[in-house]
Structure formats: structure tokens, C-alpha cells
Amino acid sequence: MNSTLVRRAAVTAMSTVAATSLLAAGSAEAGATAAPTAAPRFLAPKELPPYPDSPWYADRVKSGLPEGGTACTLRGLPRKGVSHRSFWTELDTNAQQVTFTTKNSKAARDLAAELRKSVRGCAARFLAQNPGSQADWKDFGGLAVEEGAHVYGVHVAPPESEHNVRLYGIGRDGRTVTVVEWGQMGTLDQIPLKAFKKTTRTAVNKLYR
């Protein structure tokens, strides 16, 4: 097997293993928020963190959750009002954006809080499910965009396997929540943090612009 396929397989395995027992999304209560008339917009490949060894490619926007879920926010997510877009490079770096349109602002606020909680607990869950592994995470703080966004990093390494790192940007605009996930082989010392924060800000800003 060539090195590119091995590296892609390692990243895919990280997503599959880490996503086995995750969040239960908060239930929405009634609240009055006008529904956006247009569908939320998604990132373009050029808006992702630049990758020196390959251009970014993108699938079309699709309804529903991505087939493989996301490594730290899979279970219990809403099934309605969901769409996603997948991105990839010619090597192991990949990304996806998942957007949830809820019935009101309170439901969106609750969902964003549950997503953040799920990412914060991802490394601990991975360690509990995979004895002998390594895992850690970092909170990279909030972003002042629309109703707010937050960025996290999660690093995992199964026993005798590759290190993998993922960044999560979770943001909200009104009753819509978007999650940007970026991943590649490596550790938290090797992430494009500044560029990813810019990507997260762009993702939230352009939802309804």
C-alpha cells in the first residue's frame, strides 16, 4: 500500500474510532425567531486553511449528516434541517462543514452548547474506549462573529498507530449552527490555528450573506 493510502486510512480510522459514543443534542423549547428565507451558504475550498502540497477539493452540498459523522460530534444530532459539505486534498488533510437549521434561536443555542460540550469531552471518551492510547485537547477560545463561535483542537493516537489531530469551529447565526471540522495526521503543535480561526469566522459570517 502506498504512503498516501496509508495516511488517508489513518485519518479515516481516527474519525471512525472516536465517534462511537458521543453527544445527545439538547431538546428545543418554544421561542420566536424569524426563519431565514434562504438556505445557509457553505464554505468554498479556497476559504479553508491553505495546504502547501495540494489544492483543496469539494463535494457539492448535500442534505443530511455526513455518512461517517464527525469524529467528536456524531450521536444524537438532529436529523432535520441538516446539510453538509466535504472537502479533501490529494494527501491526508481533509475537512467538512455541517450546518443545522433549528426551529428557533433557543434550540440553536442549546445545540451549540451540546456540540461544544461533546468536543471538550472527546479526548476523554477516546481514552476510555481505547486503553493504551494517547489523547488530549485544547480550547482555543471564542470568536466574535454573529452570535459567537468557538474553536477547539483534539489530538488522538491509538496504540502503535499514527497521531491524528482535528480542529473544530462551532458557531451560530440566529437559529442556525455550523460546525467546521479540519483534520490531518499530526499533533496539536502542527495545526494552522490562525488560518482555521479565519475559516471558522468566514463560515459563520457567510451563512446568510
Round to whole Å and give the CA distance between 94 and 12: 10
Grid-cell match 455550523, residue found: 178
pLDDT of residue 68: 74
Task: Name the region of 23 (left: φ>0; alpha: ψ -120 to 50; beta: rest).
Answer: beta
CB 187 within 8 A of CB 155: yes
Q: Write the DSSP string, the chain.
A: --HHHHHHHHHHHHHHHHTSS---PPPP-----PPPSSPPP---GGGSPP-TTS--EEPPPEES--TT--TTS-TT---SSEEEEEEE-SSS-EEEEEEEE-SSHHHHHHHHHHHHHHHHTHHHHHHHHSTT-EEEEEEEEEE-STT-EEEEEEEEE-TTS--EEEEEEEEEETTEEEEEEEEEES-GGG--HHHHHHHHHHHHHTTT-
Residue 205: alpha-carbon gap to chain centroid: 16
* pLDDT tens per residue across span 16-28: 444 433 333 333 3
* pLDDT tens per residue across span 144-199: 999 999 999 999 999 989 999 999 999 999 999 999 999 999 999 999 999 999 99
pLDDT of residue 38: 83
Is the CATH code 3.40.1000 the one for domain 3-22+41-193? yes
Say which residues have a Cβ less than 8 Å from residue 185's Cβ, sequence separation at least 6. Answer: 7, 10, 11, 92, 162, 163, 164, 165
Round to whole Å and give the CA distance between 113 and 102: 14
**What are the residue boundaries of the structural domains of the chain, listed by start?**
3-22+41-193
* pLDDT tens per residue across span 33-79: 444 568 999 999 999 999 999 999 999 999 999 887 777 876 678 88
